[in-house]
Amino acid sequence: MTTTDGTLAERLGYRADDRVVIVNCDDLGSSHAANDAIYRCLRDGIASSATLMAPCPWANHAIPDYGGEDIGVHLTLTSEWDGYRWGPLTPAPTLRDADGRLPRTIDEVWAQGDLADVRAELDAQIVHAATNGVDVTHLASHMGTLQLDARYFDVYLALAVAHRLPLRLSGRSSQDALGFRFRERADEVGVLAPDHLIVASGQALLDATGELRPGVTELFVHPATDLPELRALAPDWETRVADADRVAAAGPIADRLERQGAHVISYRPLRDLQRKG
């Protein structure tokens, strides 16, 4: 983001050509395996923030373990795993499938979700985290549901304004492909987001992390500990276990960031800057 006050990096106290990185762990609260690995990556690794899936049963385990880390809310409208599913926090009749759970796919959400139900449910997820002691630092959209559709982006942006929180957004170059100018709309209402978003896994993630662009970049991973629970519920359990190793203190991502002289920050500085107006 560039304003009359300079680039986002400059407004945060860095040079315009610095590489500033947020290393975010998604899916806190989704399982015991995720909670264990994410807090380990935040406390002993190079992860600098995480996002909480408030509707998931293990969110009630993650919240009591919170110790002031940078935690945002992973706004959740889907329940996509076959053997382990969750429902909304609110009555939300248009956000329930035949089993009473959140829909399995983004397309189902978009087809049946009433936007009033969507707004109420997502607001409840933020409030649930905040009223249980989490100092919420940012918002992200699970599965990209709120980022990929203009109607749902309206809700996403309205929540960011109401709660005075920065957002995860894809880069400006993706606006044409999505067909709406979400970055400009966020700028107009003073909502901040990192300049770049790395959406990759495995070797592609490592390659992208090794070639950061100037500015503020968010990369996200899905760390989890190799437990029988994880193998039973997550089809991509091997990737999640590998992600925990990737963001360890001596892991490959730390090595790539160090080689580039990257500055690792959390979302909290963006939130504080946004709240200063």
Strands 6-7 and 2-3: antiparallel
Comparing C-alpha atoms, which of 194, 265, 214 is closest to residue 19? 214
Q: Is 163 a catalytic residue?
A: no
CA angle 246, 250, 252 (to 5 degrees): 40
Token readout for 206 is 């490592």
| β-strand partners of 218 | 22, 197
Comparing C-alpha atoms, which of 251, 30, 272 is closest to residue 166? 272
The answer to whether 247 touches 23, Cβ cutoff 8 Å, is: yes
Residue 21 phi, psi dihedral angles, 5° rounding: -130, 135
Residue type at 129 in one-letter notation: A
Beta strands in 133-214 (DSSP E): 136-141, 196-198
Comparing C-alpha atoms, which of 4, 76, 3, 51 is closest to residue 165? 51
Comparing C-alpha atoms, which of 87, 25, 31 is closest to residue 58? 31
Say which of 26, 27, 117, 149 is annotated catalytic: 26
Q: Where are the alpha helices (DSSP H) in 12-105?
A: 32-44, 59-62
The answer to whether 188 touches 1, Cβ cutoff 8 Å, is: no
The length of the chain is 277
Q: Is 222 a catalytic residue?
A: yes
Say which of 70, 149, 222, 243 is annotated catalytic: 222
Residues 32, 225: Cα–Cα separation, whole Å: 8
Q: Which residues are catalytic?
A: 26, 222
